[in-house]
Structure formats: structure tokens, C-alpha cells
Amino acid sequence: MENFQYYTPTKVIFGKGSEKQVGKLVRQQGCGKVLVHYGSGSVVRCGLLNRICASLDREEIPYTTLGGVVPNPRLSLVYQGIDLCRREKIDFILAVGGGSVIDSAKAIGYGVKYDGDVWDFYSGKQQAEDSIPVGVVLTISAAGSEMSDSSVITNEDGWLKRGYSSDLGRARFAVMNPELTMTLPKYQTASGCVDIMMHTMERYFNRSENMELTDGISEHLLRTVMKNAKILMKEPDNYNARAEVMWAGSLSHNGLTGCGTGGGDWACHQLEHELGGMFDVAHGAGLAAVWGSWARYVLPEGAARFAQFAVNVMGVDPKESDEATGLKGIEAMEMFYRTLEMPVKISDMGILLTEEQMNELADKCSHFRKRTVGCVKRLTRDDVYQIYRNAR
Ligand code: NZQ
Ligand code: ZN
């Protein structure tokens, strides 16, 4: 087991009706004025935004609102949020929505406390030293941003999607009512389940050894999400299935399943981020579309791990070699994606990549040959190109 740090300061308020406590939770933060940040309308249509505002009113907490966050949240709205917060002297941001809203809130938080361009953090030029704190009311189980240290923003200038991680970005609290996710379109539920699983799979596929407890937690988490995702495809209002998936979403990305793994692989996330930036695909769907291609490409380097995954997660009977068992596991996972109506190829998302686009994706993903991605196999720009090509 590798050395690790585990830090999850976010207070979780989980269950039916938990959003009623939001005013009191914000009050406990001792802030002066709040920005209520939200997306493109789902929280307005279901009445959640009104309920949140009423809860703040009851506590006599001043606030202003900024909606309009889109999936693959844009830098331009982050700039608007920073200006608004400075003008209105906002000192707490309440994100009401999913990963995109939370990530936009985190970025605004960093930007308000920084004299330069907030993109400096996402482009790797600077580290944040301060930020406005963020609280969350979660409406979709997926990104895990409610407990993670990361935030992912898309810069329209060049359509670059880049992440930034800092403990300053960890939410002070996360209100999680699984009932709020029942209005999600099936596609978003499925895409969210893929992302949740991938946050653990990215950590699970690594080059470390002796992680009995972490492996056990990871494997059980993956089986739990698979089981409940299938239930949700037929019964979107099943509370227990929503609850299992929601809690898995947070535990999958708060660091728990990475304890002792040495960090994990994360190549699929890097591959997807370029697809999200260029083609605006749903993040989980993009991950499903590239995973099989990545897995087959790196299988020979991590055959024992893939075999363990196949047997313990996918229920495959061991074959004559680890590689053969691993391959069966990859095929079984693709079959599972298909049952969720998720893509297993990039073309399944209606994107027919040209040669030029595959080269652009590979250039961007390798930061123009300046970095490798992944750890099961360190992928160069040309490896990345081949994975996109095999996934197209
Ligand atoms: O904008 P609204 O109208 O709210 O609609 C959203 C959006 O269209 C809708 N939605 C959310 N809750 C709903 C709902 N519709 C009906 N009922 C509800 N209860 O769902 C759509 C997707 O929302 P989004 O916030 O984009 O989803 P998700 O949570 O999957 O976030 C995706 C973003 O998070 C990033 C992704 O790259 C992507 O940009 N990630 C962030 C991470 C992090 N910060 O730790 C880690 C992840 O790996 C990921 O990269
Ligand atoms: Zn993800």
C-alpha cells in the first residue's frame, strides 16, 4: 500500500427533505451575502430554487442569483460571476445543481480572491492561495464535485477543457436529497452512473499492490452502482436505488477509493476532457465511449489487475490467462454500458472523427507532446492518437 493523505472536510446532510436545512447551514458559515449559482433551468422548473431562496429568506440571509451554467461549464460565465461577487461583496457561494454548477462556483470562488486571470489555475500557471467558500445542494449523482477537490472548466477560446484541484475548493457542506435526482432524464442518470464508476475505476487501475481494503471498497462500490443503475433504467423513482447511487457518487470521488493506490491512472478522464471541450458531449457518455479502447490498449501492461476486475466486479470465470480473463471483463463492462444505452464508441455519440480531429484531440490531450497520461501504461501523444482512433 502506498503512502497517502485523506482529507474530506465536507459536511454531508443526506436524505429526504434535507434541502430544507439549507438556510440554517448557510447561516452557520457566518457569511454576509450569498451567490446562489445554478444551471440552465431544471432547478427553476422543479421549484427547488424557490425553496432554497425561501430557506435563505427565513434566515434573513441576503443573496443574489446567477443562473445559466451549462454542462461543460464555460469560463465566460465564471468571469461574470467573479465580477458580480466583487460588485455585490459576496462571501459565500451556494451551488444548486450538478458537477457543472459546482465547478463553476469553485472557479468563481478562486477568481474573486485572485488579482490575475482565474484561467491561470486551470492552465497550470498558478496555485490558488485563497477562495470564497462553496456549499452545495446536489441535483444529479455523477461528478462527485460535492466532495472532491477538483473543478473542470471549458475555455471557449480554443475549446480547452481543463481541471484544477485544490483543497480550497472542497465544499463546506453538501446537501444530498436523492429525491431531487428523480427528475433527471434517463440519459443523464446513465451518464452519471458511468462517471461515478469511472472515478473508482481510474483509481483501481494502478500499478500498486497490497490494497486489500481499498480494493474491497472499490469493487463493492462498482457492483452497487451497476446493480442500482440497472434498477433506475426501469424505475427512475426508486428511492433506495437513487440513494445508493448518490452516496456512491460522493464516496467514489472524495478520495476514499484512492487510498493507497498511488493516485491511479486517469487517462480516460484526460481523453474525455478533450472530447467534452471540442464536442460538448455529456462527460459520463464520453468516458464510456473511450474506456473500452483504452482498456484494450493497456491490457497487456496491467493484465493481473484487469483479471481481478473481471472476476471480482464483472463476475467473469477465470480463463487460461490473466489477459484472456481481463478481456472478458472489458467486454462485460461494454455490455453493461450498452444496457444503460451508453456509447461504447465515439461514433455512438453521432461524432464521426476526421483524421484532422483525431490529431487535434491527441495534440491537446498530450498538451502538444509536453506530457504523458495514465499510469497502467504511460501514454504518449501517439498512444493517445491510437486510442482515439480505435474508439472512433
Ligand atoms: O443545467 P440544468 O438545467 O440544471 O440541467 C442539467 C444539465 O443539463 C441536468 N440536471 C441536473 N440535475 C437535474 C437535471 N435535470 C433534471 N433534473 C435534475 N435534478 O443535467 C445536465 C447535466 O448536468 P451537469 O451538472 O453537467 O452534470 P454532471 O454532474 O455530470 O457534471 C458534469 C461536469 O462535471 C465535470 C465534467 O467534466 C463536466 O464538466 N466533472 C467534475 C468533476 C469534479 N469537479 O470533481 C469530476 C468529474 O470527473 C468531471 O470531470
Ligand atoms: Zn468524471
Report pLDDT digits (tens) over 140-188: 999 999 999 999 999 999 999 999 999 999 999 999 999 999 999 999 9
Judge whether residue 210 has pLDDT over 90. no
Beta bridge partners of 154: 74, 161
d(CA 54, CA 265): 44
Per-residue pLDDT at 56: 97
| 197 residue type, one letter | M
Mean of per-residue pLDDT scores for the chain? 97
Sequence-distant (6+) residues with CB within 8 A of 160 are 154, 277, 364
Q: How many angstroms is it from 284 CA to the middle of ligand 2?
A: 7
In contact, 283 and 191? CB cutoff 8 Å: yes
Answer whether 97 contacts ligand 1 (Cβ < 6 A).
yes
**Order of strands across the sheet with 92-97?**
11-14, 173-176, 134-138, 92-97, 34-38, 63-66
Closest CA to 165 of 107, 100, 81, 97: 107
In total, the chain counts a number of residues equal to 392
Q: In a mutational test of the pocket of ligand 1, which residue from 139, 166, 275 has the highest number of ligand atoms less than 8 Å from its CB?
A: 139
Q: What local confidence, expressed as pLDDT, does residue 148 receive?
A: 98
224-270 pLDDT per residue, tens = 999 999 999 999 999 999 999 999 999 999 999 999 999 999 999 99
Measured in whole angstroms, the distance separating CA 369 from the mean position of its chain's CA atoms is 25
Atom of ligand 1 nearest to the CA of 46: 17
Domain ranges of the chain: 11-180, 183-390
Ligand 1 pocket, 183 CB below 6 A?
yes
C-alpha cell at 213: 481494503
Task: Give per-residue pLDDT as tens, 64-98.
Answer: 999 999 999 999 999 999 999 999 999 999 999 99
Closest CA to 40 of 17, 71, 75: 71
CA distances from 88 to 129, 173, 225, 255 (A): 22, 23, 42, 35
**Secondary structure of the chain: what % helix, strand, coil (to 5)?**
55, 10, 35
- Looking at residue 291, its pLDDT comes to 98
For the segment 114-135, the average pLDDT, to the nearest whole number, is 98
SS3 264: coil
The percent of residues in the chain predicted with pLDDT above 90, rounded, is 99
How far apart are alpha carbons 20 and 34 in whole angstroms? 17
CATH class of 11-180: alpha beta
Q: Ligand 1, atom 31: nearest CA belongs to which residue?
A: 99
CA distances from 345 to 69, 292, 339 (A): 28, 8, 14
Indicate the pTM of the whole model: 0.97
| Candidates 1.10.150.20, 3.30.420.480, 2.40.50.100, 1.20.1090.10; CATH matching 183-390 | 1.20.1090.10
State the pLDDT at residue 209: 85
253 lines ligand 1 (CB under 6 A): yes
* pLDDT over 90 (residue 51): yes
To test the ligand 1 pocket, which listed residue (96, 102, 108, 145) has its Cβ within 8 A of the most ligand atoms?
Answer: 145
**Max Cα distance, the chain (Å):** 67
Amino acid occupying residue 330: I
* DSSP H or E stretch at residue 152: strand 150-155
Report which residue type is found at 346.
I
The bridge status of strand 150-155 relative to strand 160-165 is antiparallel
C-beta of residue 307 within 8 angstroms of C-beta of residue 325: yes
* Total Cβ atoms within 10 A of residue 383: 20
User: Three-state SS for 154?
Assistant: strand
